[in-house]
Structure 1
Amino acid sequence: MGMLQGKKVLITGASRGIGAAMARLFASHGATLYLNSTNSEAIESLVYDIRTEYDVECHSLAFNVGVADEVKTGFQSLFKLTKTLDVLVNNAGILDDALLGMVTAEQIQKTFSTNTFSVIYCSQYASRMMLRAGGGAIINLSSIIGCVGNQGQAVYGGSKAAVIGITQSLAKELAEKQIRVNAIAPGFIDTPMTQQLPKDKYQQRIDSIAMGHIGRPEDVANAALFLASDMAKYVTGQVLGVDGGMLI
């Protein structure tokens, strides 16, 4: 019996990297999946693979989590598929580094829309669906950068620090409704996003990890599985670091 048997789960930004790793792990534990991405082709391909490989119910939802109107339409589509939801993973995110003097207004807007505002937009609708289920779990993806900051990452770090504030506030607000809200703060994880870094920056990050190696998307997915499952039914308002002892 899987840890998520019978649970209905929405994962945003699920087409690659950490989101795709979560989707596969959750499917292996029996979850019914609703996978979101702006890349409809990639998400359809993953949905097909998961249905074939794990024999679970899996659906795609293509919408931009950083645009309020698209989130509303996306959740209307979700509501037609299922009237209740047990787990929301706010995973969608972008990384766009710039030193302070080079930061643009457009960059700030796009980063906060995707990384931060999306968490509130999606949690609003998801929490209503969780109420119909008698409770649920919201898991927000922050970052070690949101906890301790980093040079050239004021915008990204700010967007991910805000996610922690949102997580802890929603945990207090939704606890009486039996909705748990937690965050995961990954360190340096081997994903398409981190692979874009210049070689010297990439090596600097590896050198700062106490355990001496980069993390895998599966490492983050394992933490999410715990927080989504009934094993964490008395855990809320927490920020779980998955960083191999990274010291920025």
Structure 2
Amino acid sequence: MHQAGKIAKAYATSRHEPSQPRIEERIGAAIARNLASKGASIILNDTSDSSATQTTTFAKEIQSSYFVHCLPVQADIGHPDGPAYLIATAREHFQNLQDGSFQIDIIVNNAGIARFTGQPVYGGTNAALEAMTRTWARELAERCTVNAINPGPVKIDMWDRMPMEHRGGLWPWTSQSPLAAARECVGDEELVMDAGFVGGRPAYPAEIYGDCGDALYG
């Protein structure tokens, strides 16, 4: 069955967390919801059985709320076969049966670029992703646009579990962000209390998904 509109693949869950938080707390989920509101068909990637039920429930919510096709697919993107399986599954569900055409318009991948002690692999792979984005933007200029968006620290479940020394390491970013000032009676009490050490507050997912969606879909 061919679905009209653009196709977006979003990572709505994390493969690193032993206990899965609610999907709606994730940046990828917020962006997926925003893209669906613009008419995009969505592919949600989860990586484990523990997150499959949440992903399926979220996919049904997307479909009923925005009347677009939303397909949950379980695949380990850390293994070479994972991305290939995602693309094959997307082709199976979204290929135009009349002319055989198939196109993925948007790929959303969440990545942090802050470098902390003890996280050389995490920081290195995300830095590589940013470098590859610049290369792909040139290589694929005649076929598509490739963007990397760095909204800075965001208040999701990973922020809550981040060691305080790592939060303090974000001070150079948060202290220079114009809208990062923590305001009493407006922001979370914990964020207000930590603002002096952290340099401000992180963004909320609802504050950034629109910009990400506009840049990716516009």
Fold match (TM-score > 0.5): yes
Partner of 2:156: 191
Show the 5 A alignment for 1:14-93.
Answer: 14=13, 15-16=23-24, 17-38=26-47, 39-83=51-95
Could you tell which deviates more after superposition, 8-17 or 165-174?
Answer: 8-17
Structure number with higher strand proportion: 1
Can you list the C-alpha shifts for 1:116-153, whole angstroms capped at 9, x where unaligned? xxxxxxxxxxxxx9x955x94555544341xxx33333
Can you list the C-alpha shifts for 1:34-54, whole angstroms capped at 9, x where unaligned? 111112111101011112222
Distance 2:33 2:134 in 1: 28
Q: TM-score, normalised by structure 2?
A: 0.69
- Give ranges in structure 2 of 5+ residues lacking alignment: 14-22, 181-199
Q: State the SS of the aligned residue for 1:11.
A: strand
Following superposition, the deviation at residue 163 of structure 1 comes to 0.7
Q: Aligned residues, how many?
A: 175
Q: State the SS of the aligned residue for 1:204.
A: helix
Partner of 1:158: 124
Q: TM-score, normalised by structure 1?
A: 0.61
Structure having the higher Rg: 2
Can you list the C-alpha shifts for 1:99-119, whole angstroms capped at 9, x where unaligned? xxxxxxxxxxxxxxxxxxxxx
Structure number with higher helix proportion: 1
Structure 2 letter corresponding to 1:158: G
Q: State the SS of the aligned residue for 2:157.
A: coil
Query: Are 1:9 and 2:14 counterparts?
Result: no
Identity of aligned residues (%): 27
Equivalent position to 2:146, from 151, 173, 181:
181
Following superposition, the deviation at residue 166 of structure 1 comes to 0.7
Partner of 1:224: 212
Following superposition, the deviation at residue 6 of structure 1 comes to 2.0
Distance 2:125 2:153 in 1: 17
Distance 1:51 1:205, change over 3 A: farther
CA contact (8 A) 1:139 1:224 kept: no
